[in-house]
Structure 1
Amino acid sequence: MTTDTPEDAPEGVFITFEGGEGAGKSTQILRLAAHLRALTGREVVTTREPGGTPKAEAIREAVLAGVAKPYGAFAEALMFSAARIDHLDHLIRPALASGAVVLCDRFSDSTRAYQGAAGGVDEAALHALERVVVGPTRPQLTIILDLPPETGLARARQRAGDGEGADRFEAETLDFHQRLRVAFGTIAAAEPDRCVVIDADAAPDAVEAAIRSAVAVRLPDLLSGGEKDATENAA
């Protein structure tokens, strides 16, 4: 992807989606992408972590298969960071430089939650790792899809289908997933200007509407004048 951008091209917009297992991130990313393409006419790139590039997808496969688990949560954090470096260098940053909207299923907040709060890795160590790996490439908006872990795990099992085993993280204890939920809530409370918590226990259409509203309020310049005016009038 080229990084040569016309002078009048819009700035790239980086939106991340976070939450526990089965929260519906993939579904809602696809819905928001279709909405933004139709509304703005801009390029919208959808991606995920770990993954998004061939090298990062290979790391994803290994981690979700449990290859790093015997070495501990910090080893997993290092593998996720290696995937994130390649993802940023070869997909996210070039897309943002070209003026695209990037919608990413998980990013550095998941490392904070999964390997940090739930996995026990020292918070200071993860923040130092994040500074090196992520640098200034921070999301302008993070949508946190929140629901009880029991509900999310049931959805994940249904999604996987009969005969397919749970992945590395879906197989964790309920207590682990409860710690995840608390961790994402703590992140949202600490960074309210960036994070919006959405009730993901609602029907998919209601979740979609809440996400659209959050984007309209937090990133009004991304939207067309008509929808922006309608949102402001409704406020």
Structure 2
Amino acid sequence: MKLNEHTAISTPSFLLVPYEAHHVPTYHQWMKDPKIQEATASEPLTLEEEYENQQSWRTSTDKLTFIICSPLPDTASSCEKIPQDADTPTKMIGDVNLFLYPCEDDFSSEPAPPIPKEVVGELDIMIACPDHRGNGLGGKVVKAFVGYIWEKREEIMKEYISDKIDDGEEVEVPKLKMLMAKIGEGNEQSLRVFRDKLGWEQEGERNYFGELKFVLGDVEGFVTEGGRGVVVRYERS
């Protein structure tokens, strides 16, 4: 999505920045790890394909991505624009993503409407650096990310339908019905984050791919618990 093209989210524990081309080489190295491939259900790509993927994600209307980085130093934490070196390769930790798709209820009628009435948001998070796992970082990132999604939900929905309507066409903007996560039943680390620490509720049994579905029932209550972070201007020369 283009929504967060110039947006960073700063907290005392981490910094979220939009996924840019200069992040690709490090991201590409992360995705060579077989354990990460298994946890994210991903296939390895060439470096050229990773660059193409990054550009696709920037312009796609159904994907919103941030790169997780080390927190800003205290001297920069209150600045209006983050420093140029805030997201160098040595400060990259992982990523967090939102995927949007029509609610299954919209497929109950034939043909399915071109603009769904409700949309489901699927979250996933990857802490790629082993040194940053197991310390509660994942849960904090999810809380800040959900806070941003909830605050920007109307803008997110408008961008989601922007490639599905003609210029000037007036349509009803879909509602973000729920947020959910699909986690492999063997991914104990992610299960601890979403199920045990964040309280997302399991819905149904494992699917064909061995994944468990967890749903955030009370998004507004989840967001009001705090941890949103401060939105800071992101620019690169």
User: Greater relative contact order: 1 or 2 (C-alpha under 8 angstroms, separation 6 or more)?
Assistant: 1
Bigger share in helix:
1
The question of a shared fold, defined as TM-score above 0.5 by the shorter chain, is answered with no
Q: TM-score, with normalisation over the residues of structure 2? A: 0.27
Bigger share in strand:
2
